[in-house]
Homo-oligomer: A and B are copies of this chain.
Amino acid sequence: MSEAIEKATAAKVAAALLAQSSAAERTDAILGAAQSVSDGRDRILAANGADMQRARANGMPGPMLDRLMLDDARIDGIVSAMREVAGQPDPIGEVVGGRTLASGIRLTQVRVPLGVIGMIYEARPNVTADAICLTMRTGNAVVLRGGSAARESCKAIVEACRAGIAAAGLPQDAACLLESEGHEQTIELMHADGLVDLIIPRGGHSLIRTCVEQSSVPVIQTGEGNCHVYVHAAADPDMALRIIENAKVQRPGVCNAIETVLVDQSISLEFIPMLVKACASWGVTVHGDEHVTSVARHMGLAEGTQFSAATTADWATEYDALELAVRVVSGLDEAIDHINTYGTKHSECIVTNEVPAADAFLARVDAAAVYVNASTRFTDGGMFGLGAEIGISTQKLHARGPMGALALTTTKCLLRGEGQVRA
């Protein structure tokens, strides 16, 4: 039996027990896991040191090294996030509907765990602890597959969590980690129908496409963010610049950051020079259409570093860096068309003081979160009041936008009769 099938089977057995556990038991298990991570920090930091050393030797770039790195403060952050999840409301067992059927059968629809979640993610140790807590909060078991660059860190965190869960009296196989090298076990996990109920990939485009193309277990796509700000004819230009700066510069590597600004042609003469100048001051490289590049040339900016001519490929690119595509559009219709063609249905924004334009944008843009006059950076489980999130869904099925605890549940209909048969 392969490691993936072996661990998915163990997780399924654990899931059956978890589904019968009480909210208080699951809270204790999360708190136990948090304490165990805190107490075991020396071992976790040593494991992370080994990962960091290997990553540096392999030439991992700085931003990725930063996401891999743990220190005492980051362990504290992980532990406090775990304790927060322990304090979140528990949705399991909630009665979400009910009726007495014509035959007299009483139907009650209750919220239940999904079962076993397969979580496939990149070299980010903190995702390991997040996933364990959120799945435990909702009575699910999890099979984790972290990026290989973080393998020692993930292993140390999972071991600590399993010890904490077991000490609280729940099955430690609630959290299983795939440890074999290579992609084979990941692929096995994606085909463990009947054992695994859901695969959540969390990472870049190619990881997500691999899961969507290959998995026979249902997948929720998360976190691809080709997001836009459309500066409408009736925009306040200063507000537009503030929103663009926040949505591009504050954390360029996250999925709710923007990649393209669309500027209404009727204000382009005024706004494009302001935007190009601002980008230069923020250290943002502009990939502009003809109009934008001619303005940049006129301003004497450096072609190749400060700006370049955009191609169609730019409209579809998630830079995740201090780069921004800029395009002039003829109006609202073209802006909405552009977004619905190139966007990833994550977060989209219009800046305007005109209510009908705002309403049309809200109605016609097809995305999880559509904004008027606010930064796309607000799309986040915490900001939306969902507590911790397991990812941001960019698909329409089951969960859309930030996924909190409810996204890890399903329902079951319980029907109580006295011998009824169908006529």
Distance, CA A117 to CA B364, complexed state (A): 18
> CB-CB < 8 A to A418: which residues of B?
373-374
Distance, CA A166 to CA B403, complexed state (A): 39
Asked whether, in the complex, the Cβ of B20 is within 8 Å of the Cβ of A368, the reply is: no
Which of B247, B371, B374, B420 makes the CB contact (< 8 A) with A378?
Answer: B420
> CB-CB < 8 A to A363: which residues of B?
19-20
- Which A398-423 residues have C-beta < 8 A from chain B? 398, 400-401, 410-422
21 contacts between A and B (CB under 8 A): A16-B340, A16-B366, A19-B364, A19-B366, A99-B385, A103-B378, A103-B383, A107-B384, A197-B397, A198-B396, A218-B397, A245-B421, A250-B421, A370-B414, A371-B416, A372-B417, A374-B419, A375-B421, A377-B421, A398-B398, A400-B411
- Which A194-231 residues have C-beta < 8 A from chain B? 197-198, 212-213, 216, 218-220
Residues in A lying within 8 Å of B, measured CB to CB: 16, 19-20, 99, 101-103, 105, 107, 114-115, 193, 197-198, 212-213, 216, 218-220, 236, 239, 242-243, 245-247, 250, 340, 358, 362-364, 366-375, 377-379, 383-385, 395-398, 400-401, 410-422
Which of B19, B340, B364, B415 makes the CB contact (< 8 A) with A371?
Answer: B415
Question: Which B residue sits closest to A341, measured CB to CB?
Answer: B194
A113 to chain B, nearest CB (A): 9
Distance, CA A107 to CA B395, complexed state (A): 19
Distance, CA A239 to CA B414, complexed state (A): 19
Question: Which B residue sits closest to A366, measured CB to CB?
Answer: B115
A386 to chain B, nearest CB (A): 10
> CB-CB < 8 A to A422: which residues of B?
246, 250, 375, 377-378, 383
Asked whether, in the complex, the Cβ of B378 is within 8 Å of the Cβ of A115, the reply is: no
Asked whether, in the complex, the Cβ of A378 is within 8 Å of the Cβ of B105, the reply is: yes
Q: A101-B385, A114-B396 are in contact. Are A412 and B198 (CB under 8 A)?
A: no
A253 to chain B, nearest CB (A): 14
Question: Which B residue sits closest to A370, measured CB to CB?
Answer: B414
> CB-CB < 8 A to A375: which residues of B?
420-422
Asked whether, in the complex, the Cβ of A364 is within 8 Å of the Cβ of B16, the reply is: yes
Distance, CA A368 to CA B109, complexed state (A): 10
Which of B99, B243, B419 makes the CB contact (< 8 A) with A421?
Answer: B243
Asked whether, in the complex, the Cβ of A212 is within 8 Å of the Cβ of B193, the reply is: yes
> CB-CB < 8 A to A416: which residues of B?
358, 371-374
Asked whether, in the complex, the Cβ of B239 is within 8 Å of the Cβ of A419, the reply is: yes
Asked whether, in the complex, the Cβ of B421 is within 8 Å of the Cβ of A397, the reply is: no
Distance, CA A313 to CA B383, complexed state (A): 51
Distance, CA A20 to CA B361, complexed state (A): 12
Most buried by B among A197, A218, A358, A415: A415
